[in-house]
Amino acid sequence: MTTDADMNFTSGMAAFEAKEFARAMQFLLPFAEKGDPDAQHRVAIMYQNGLGHARNEAEALRWMKAAADQGHAVAQHGLGFMYMEGDCVEQDGAKAIEWFTRAADQGLVGSLTTLAMIYDEGSLVPQDKEKAKELYAKAGF
């Protein structure tokens, strides 16, 4: 049996996919507040990019971290990018590596390749071509 809550969540996700962000926020924020990591991740993206409302860096970080802390791999990757780029937070290479590694440990190929590039370029960490090669191989390259 489909509940009103199920319908609201589905409506929120559909609105997000349809780029109806103000509507998506209206439906998804209550689920984010109740701890749903998918809703938290989408709410974070909307705050981070000012979709459907003004950009809010503090809220973007809060919701991305909430989802990442629950093991949401894509949110972990997103949080890694925030730290790598200094977007919504102070740039922090160690934290970027930590979050990309958590996502990579769950099999997220994008995180493996991002880690490989970081080690290959030596941008946030000391350059380590062997580690980069190992990560690229793990990612299927």
pLDDT tens-place string over residues 105-141? 999 999 999 999 999 999 888 999 999 999 999 999 9
Distance of alpha carbon 123 from alpha carbon 141, whole angstroms:
21
Non-local CB neighbours of 67 within 8 Å, separated by 6+ positions? 37, 38, 40, 41, 44, 75
Mean pLDDT within 25-43: 98
pLDDT given for residue 6 in this prediction: 87
pLDDT band at residue 51 under the 50/70/90 scheme: very high
What tokens appear for 32 in the block? 């984010």
Query: Mind listing the pLDDT tens digit for each residue in 97-108?
Result: 999 999 999 999
pLDDT higher than 70, residue 1: no
Amino acid present at 106: Q
Q: Structural domain boundaries of the chain?
A: 1-70, 92-141
Helices and strands counted in the chain (H then E):
8, 0
Mean pLDDT within 56-69: 98
Task: Reduce the DSSP state of residue 56 to 3 states and report it.
Answer: coil
**CATH number, span 1-70:** 1.25.40
